[in-house]
Amino acid sequence: DAGITQSPRHRVTETGTPVTLRCHQTENHRYMYWYRQDPGHGLRLIHYSYGVKDTDKGEVSDGYSVSRSKTEDFLLTLESATSSQTSVYFCAITTGTLANTGELFFGEGSRLTVL
């Protein structure tokens, strides 16, 4: 058990509404990641964090923002949800570094449906 919890696990919302997904870790790891997973695309990196208040964009960051005010929490926000953001979102932590990515430990995922 890597000590990662995501909330909510399921969310249905309407286009244009704001949505925040929470990732909480109990391992005190520095690096945290948000991915989305869609059929045929594998995992795509949205944003990542390398410390408190230190975040950077991934390959599909448009329409998403993140915040990390505490080591244990990494929040992903959709300011105005669109149907193209319907997906399964995974949070992950690693014991490695950006230069030497170690094993990624994933949460159980948050399924978001935007109607």
Partner 1 sequence: TQLLEQSPQFLSIQEGENLTVYCNSSSVFSSLQWYRQEPGEGPVLLVTVVTGGEVKKLKRLTFQFGDARKDSSLHITAAQPGDTGLYLCAGASNYQLIWGAGTKLIIKP
Q: Which residues bind partner 1 (CB under 8 A)?
A: 40-45, 90, 92, 98-101, 103-109
Of 10 and 17, CB closest to partner 1: 10
Of 14 and 38, CB closest to partner 1: 38
Q: Which of 4, 10, 79 is nearest to 34 (CA)?
A: 4
Taking the complex as a whole, the smallest distance from the CB of residue 100 to partner 1 amounts, in Å, to 8
Q: What dihedral do alpha carbons 71, 73, 79, 82 form, nearest 10°?
A: 120
Of 18 and 92, CB closest to partner 1: 92
Q: Which of 69, 64, 63 is nearest to 49 (CA)?
A: 69
Taking the complex as a whole, the smallest distance from the CB of residue 104 to partner 1 amounts, in Å, to 7
